[in-house]
Amino acid sequence: MVPDKYIPQFLGNGLGYKFIPRAELMICNMYNDNMGLRKVGEQFGVSRTTIQTVLKNNNVVITPYRVFSLDDKVKICDLYKDGIPVTQIVRLYKAKFSKIKEILLDSGMVLELSNHKLFSVSNQQRIHEMYDEGVPVYIIAKRFKAAFQTINRFLQNRGLPKRLLSSVNHDAFDEITPETAYWIGFLVADGCIFRLKGSYCIQLHLSIKDLDHLEKFREFIGTSNVITHPNGKGIDGNIVVKSEKVFKRLCEFGIMPRKSGREQIIGLGTNRHFWRGWVDGDGSLGIYRYPALSVCGSLRIVTQFQDFVRDFIPKYKVAIYSSNSPNFFTSRVGGKQAQKMVKILYEDCETYLQRKYVIAKRIMDYKYSKVA
């Protein structure tokens, strides 16, 4: 907004506004500097029609569309060459999509139109590369802020072959084995299930340091899907499988879409392999002054873990603490009790997160000094 002394005086209905000469000059200069009518009006607290009247009274020619200077056109072309999407350039210059497209075409830029969305040459190449790497189309669409159909049509126009339906072991969770129980626990902690375009999806997304664990899950679920890197290689790993049977089977154990803050387990509350999987995902192990085992999650699942601990240490009081988030709570077991629970969870087991197992082994081998 301009200073108060330049705000016009309202004369009454049908009479309009009275501007001081200095304010009228400012309006003319703003418009000549390619500021839109509505934007100028916002500066003075009046409508675009009022601004038009001021400009006409000062013999300023009002153009129907914004006029771009040669420098503006060069900058627009440079932005496009640097991979900035056309839609973002439109927002930056507050111009019409068709006008930016016209400037780029007149400047000899090669554009590809796909469902009313333009992609720069560098982005076209990146979309092609991501698809060749096996990244799902919906993740590509999210990365480029485009609709799923837009990316799909773009790929079809490029003549890229459709991917064959991936394999998956739909019976992976039918029988509860130590390995099955472990992966249910791990999915409760770090996995998610969701519906997408009528498909039933199971997703596991981990840090790059746990990429080998993602490979173990890929082998367990029996899928040919590749592990993708949504945020770039060296940062994370992600795998998605589609199976209605697996989806519904996981729901039977309490895993649900958008489960964060509502985690619970049904039917496996006394299974140590399940809890090992959950601790690998949402737990923390360490030796500080003494061994410690801490977990975090919804009040429901932390309470269920507390009940599991009491099955082996009946008189031990396991406290539950609230966190900054109203839906998340923490609990901790320390000292010899922590060492005992770690042995129960990790002793004689075959499936585990390697980096957590290394710490668990140190805890199991921990020797208390006589002084302590």
Average pLDDT, the chain: 85
Domain ranges of the chain: 4-57, 70-157, 178-252, 272-364
pLDDT at 11: 77
Radius of gyration for the alpha carbons in the chain, expressed in angstroms and rounded: 31
Alpha carbons 104 and 29: distance in angstroms, whole number: 28
* Residue 297 reports pLDDT greater than 60: yes
Our CA angle for 120, 126, 129, nearest 5°, is 145
Task: Give the total residue count for the chain.
Answer: 372
Query: What mean pLDDT do residues 350-360 have?
Result: 94
Say if 178-252 and 272-364 have the same CATH topology.
yes
| pLDDT confidence of residue 191 | 92
**Model confidence, pTM:** 0.59
Residue carrying the six token digits 């039918």:
174
Q: What is the CATH number of domain 272-364?
A: 3.10.28.10
* Cα separation, 76 vs 201, whole angstroms: 41
How confident is the model at residue 63, as a pLDDT? 67
Chain CA centroid to CA 91, Å? 23
- The CATH classification number of 4-57 equals 1.10.10
Whole-number pLDDT of residue 372: 43
202-242 per-position pLDDT tens digit: 999 998 899 999 999 999 998 878 888 877 777 888 899 99
What is d(CA 119, CA 147) in angstroms, rounded to the nearest whole number? Answer: 13
pLDDT recorded at residue 164? 59
What's domain 178-252's superfamily in CATH? Homing endonucleases (3.10.28.10)
Q: Which of 243, 248, 247, 213 is nearest to 227 (CA)?
A: 213
Tens of pLDDT, residue by residue over 86-136, are 777 887 887 778 788 888 888 877 665 544 455 667 788 888 888 887 777
Strand 320-322 relative to strand 291-297: parallel, antiparallel, unpaired?
A: unpaired
pLDDT per position as a tens digit, 8-62 = 887 777 778 888 988 999 888 888 777 778 888 888 888 888 988 898 889 888 7
